[in-house]
Structure 1
């Protein structure tokens, strides 16, 4: 039986970081297991290729949720990365650390040592921050690019409108002043996507002590007494078992990590028995505490050119492609989400509780839920969108069968609390206030129904239930905490009651961070590697 010191399940945002940091000393052998293929697709490397990977059958798991009562019984589309780099290879590239109180709340809720000071130090160690003029701050593996010199000219109306609405401006939402209108920082380097795979795993694979296996499906984790010891793989019709000499690091993400624990006998006992799985531990929180961000787009026709005018016609695509080939700049080098920021939905909000996106492109005529960015609307258009930053509703993700290849049972339980419904109304009213500003009023030729500017609070909530969708930030399904009665892993990310197994991905978040979750997921892995190596020195 093959033995590696550390076996990492999942080459996603977290797994790539772990592989690099655990292998750096050369002392330990590291095996990384990934169900998807290598990240060689040009659509992965091209920043605006996000529109193509959004439904790509080889690169994306393309999950669907169960019908959600809070969304009028609708089933939502849940894309997740099925490729080396995980969702960092197919996401919209925004690098948002989260807000300081997010992490202070983690520490206060039992995740000792995970406060903002600890998180900030990790972010600073991870990042090379590249300004619009090319100057750099920091020396971390991951490049975080300021593209404020490249965003579309129509975005000036957004910044003018925010000022006219009395809302603050912010130079960088990852900086000391995090509240206000900003250009989003993105994870690109020289105009190419700088995913976790490129920043971390690629350098690690140059070492002789790191092995990556792709196209393999982990079906269960094997235990010897109370110690996780083996990993069972399926490669086609063949089953293979691998042994970890030191630890197994479960980095399969908020959708799959709880399911692998359940398939291995750790989860709600009643659920496991119903599927004929032997119960090693009755752990009802495995798969619970699911949290996610929901957002809704409001579409408008503009009376001046937007990205639609550049990317819709063939000649525009050709011009953008030539510019990109020559300079690695232009719309193909950017995220669809060019600007936005964090804001308070009401004056009484103690912290920013809304994230806003302003995109100088629209795709209201494409099928619901798609992101056909290279075939936008045949008229100048733009989008304003909001997501409540810290939802309080909680759902579940569980196995639907004892078959590891069966789709997950995703039950988001959206808008289940009155607080969440009130925050949705506040977010819609905030966007309505922005759209009524003189600058944006002057930009709008007409609204694509529904017209946000005409909606009252009740209509905002009704419309949100009808049209909102996930922003692809599921977290919390293996939450960390000190109390095993309320959590799945301890603050050092070790599975409660067992040895040799840690969960390291967004599933361990005690509560969702206020913005995009790729950055805090990678931060968790950075800090987890420190913990693993610290523990290795004492054994």
Structure 2
């Protein structure tokens, strides 16, 4: 089966890519996710991350290497193994990086990655509870809301932090995160608003988009090309053990399986050692 684009990894970034690429009706897009569908009821409930993290149904259940600073212990390192990836199992905190970090990336030669370049893209995807402003978008897919609870102890903690030299700031999404503030959340009406809900559900009727879950990429198929080697396809093992091959020639294959998931260690990326990703 041939597609214009094959996106390997149906996590946060993969869902966005599938949405944006399939917006062109003249292209065909295949989204591959090693985990299952996001129909587990604990995913929808905000406190449910206590039951999805460390659960092999929704988490790769990685373990770090033993660390001397942890008295030789290793700890769990959660990574989403489900459609929506970590956005389906995390604590739903919406927090951008520092303006200075993005600007530094551009200084290193990565044009288009400065804060003023990425902010419009953040805003395009955002559906902020209070509408658009200088730092937030109001018409995007990803819902962002303020906290739903307020406890006196939290205000006392903020006061204490301020006395220790950590100033109170309005929020963590304005490019200057030095300070203490309340997190904004990816929730809508008290429910998790994952990348699946934001970017896939509204477009699931697109005839040019195919989403396969329980489809674990095993290897890339590489062929000779005029300018050297190029990736032509991907070999996938389905949950029932069936092996399938998908081609994207002359299109593109996009690896979007997370920093921990790639590069893979055959036969299974779940065994990729933490010590090798440094």
Tell me the TM-score normalised to structure 2 length. Answer: 0.90
Matched, 1:144 2:144: yes
Using the alignment, how far apart are the partners of 1:212 and 1:176 within structure 2? 35
Q: Does 1:238 align with 2:242?
A: yes
Tell me what 1:284 maps to.
none
User: Deviation at 1:63?
Assistant: 0.8
Please say if residues 130 and 137 of structure 1, whose CA atoms lie closer than 8 Å, have aligned partners that are also in contact: no
Task: Quickly say closer, same or farther: Cα 1:223–1:177, change in 2 above 3 A.
Answer: closer
**2:123, 2:137 within 8 Å by CA — same for their partners in 1?**
no
1: distance between equivalents of 2:138 and 2:274?
Answer: 39
CA contact (8 A) 2:112 2:118 kept: no
Q: After superposition, give the CA deviation of every residue in 1:269-297 in whole Å (9 maximum; x if it has no partner).
A: xxxxxxxxxxxxxxxxxxxxxxxxxxxxx
Equivalent runs, 1:68-467 vs 2, <5 Å:
68-69=67-68, 71-131=70-130, 138-147=138-147, 150-175=149-174, 178-225=177-224, 226-235=229-238, 236-245=240-249, 246-259=251-264, 399=265, 402-404=266-268, 407-411=271-275
Three-state SS of the structure 2 residue aligned to 1:11 is: coil
1:251: Cα distance to partner?
0.6
Tell me how far 1:177 sits from its aligned partner: 5.2
1-side partners of 2:124 and 2:190: how far apart? 22
What is the distance in 2 between the residues matched to 1:193 and 1:64? 26
Residue 156 of structure 1: how far off its partner (Å): 1.8
> RMSD of aligned C-alpha atoms?
2.0
Secondary structure at the counterpart of residue 159 of structure 2: helix
**Residue 44 (str. 1) matches residue 43 (str. 2):** yes
Q: 1:168 to 1:57 in 2, by over 3 A?
A: same
Sort the Cα spacing of 1:169 and 1:37 in 2 relative to 1 into closer, same or farther, 3 A: same
For residues 32-79 of structure 1, the C-alpha deviation after alignment (integer angstroms, 9 at most, x for no partner) is 111111111111111111111112121111011222345443222111
Change (3 A) 1:198 1:406: closer
How many angstroms apart in 2 are the aligned matches of 1:197 and 1:406? Answer: 22
> What do the CA deviations read for 1:102-149 (whole angstroms, capped 9, x no partner)?
1112222332321111111211111111149xxx952111011112x5
Give the Cα–Cα distance (whole angstroms) in 1 for the partners of residues 199 and 270 of structure 2: 31
Shift of 1:159: 2.0
The answer to whether the 8 Å contact 1:131/1:146 transfers is: no
1:72–1:176 Cα change, 3 Å: closer
Q: Separation in 2 of the partners of 1:154 and 1:141?
A: 33
* TM-score, normalisation: structure 1: 0.47
Tell me the residue number matched to 1:65: 64
Q: Distance in 1 between matches of 2:275 and 2:66?
A: 8
1:429-485 Cα shifts (integer Å, max 9, x gaps): xxxxxxxxxxxxxxxxxxxxxxxxxxxxxxxxxxxxxxxxxxxxxxx87xxxxxxxx
Post-superposition Cα deviations, 1:204-243, rounded to whole Å, max 9, x if no partner, equal 3221111111111110010111111011011233211110
Rounded to whole Å, the distance in 1 between the matches of 2:164 and 2:95 is 24
- Deviation readout 1:305-324 (Å, 9 max, x if unpaired): xxxxxxxxxxxxxxxxxxxx
Going from structure 1 to structure 2, the CA distance change for 1:242 and 1:76 (only over 3 Å counts) comes to same
Which has the higher Rg, Structure 1 or Structure 2? 1
Tell me: CA distance 1:112–1:71, structure 2 relative to 1, closer, same or farther (3 Å): farther
Q: Does 1:33 align with 2:32?
A: yes
8 Å CA contact 1:232, 1:241 repeated in 2: yes
Matched positions, count: 268
